[in-house]
Amino acid sequence: MNWQTLAQEVIDGKELTNEEAMLILTTSDDELLPLLHGAFTIRKHYYGKKVKLNMIMNAKSGYCPEDCGYCSQSSKSTAPIEKYPFISKEEILAGAKRAFENQIGTYCIVASGRGPTRKDVNVVSEAVEEIKEKYGLKVCACLGLLKNEQAEQLKNAGVDRYNHNLNTSERHHDYITTSHTYEDRVNTVEVVKKHGISPCSGAIVGMKETKEDVIDIARALRRLDADSIPVNFLHAIDGTKLEGTKELNPRYCLKVLALFRFVNPTKEIRISGGREVNLGSLQPLGLYAANSIFVGDYLTTEGQEVNKDYLMLQDLGFEIELAEKQAELFNV
């Protein structure tokens, strides 16, 4: 396969066939660098060499009634994690200040649970209004299944983006969780779109799915028209259903990122949870396909040291994409 030719065809509007998509995931490791060069051709066309940085604030940990097999916060999990109720507005604002000072463009307020209470939405809304005024950050909320009136309130408060991952293909969904449906997840993304909030939705790879499932979720996110697509690689946690699962290697993870770029050429592709564990020393290569990463810790697992991320971007010659107020502060 001539990956450069295929990349240009994708830029010109071509949609991959199933055969081409499968070839990306199954191509020999000898073809990995040419494949990544093709993915980078698409990435550079739409995003240049800019990288978007994201930071998570875990606003509520544990106490979740759902049974998601990958999650240490699930009702079925026995993982020894820190548990606490929804944090205060002041704590959310303190996290936003750290994000602003560390050149993080998107601040992600994440809470465990099936969906937010009225009080939760009020706290987030009040915090976001102040974040916008003080720091001008892009704010992404991730609070679970969302109702129309909640989406409207968050939009009015200034929430830019809402994350609700599809996680896996529709046919594999019931293996991962049974306490909500695949359609429940799709509906939440449609609700936020209806209210003018940018949709963020992605996948978790490495949960005993097939390569066909990976292709299906990449295509489903294209149909859903998600603006931002976080690609997570399973970091199996002891005490969860998927404890001990280790199906991934760094080269396959890079092929997955290339697939998501070829299938969703114009979208923000974010290397998310599990990148440090699964990509290892090949993490920098992932940014030739992706244009966004999380910086710092995740929900219940640790990320790479922040200074290593900045050094990685510097060594790559990539440019951090700042919010307007940050650009003024850092004289960019």
Catalytic residues: 64, 68, 71, 108, 140, 200, 270
Which residue matches tokens 């092929």?
255
**CA 205 – CA 208 distance, rounded (Å):** 8
**CA 137 – CA 159 distance, rounded (Å):** 10
Structure tokens at 32: 């990995």
Could you tell me if 278 and 248 are in contact, meaning their C-beta atoms sit under 8 angstroms apart?
Answer: yes
**CA 172 – CA 210 distance, rounded (Å):** 9
DSSP conformation class of 203: E
Structure tokens at 191: 């609700």
What are the backbone dihedrals phi and psi of residue 316, each rounded to the nearest 5 degrees, phi first?
-75, -15
Of 234, 177, 232, nearest to 200 by C-alpha is 232
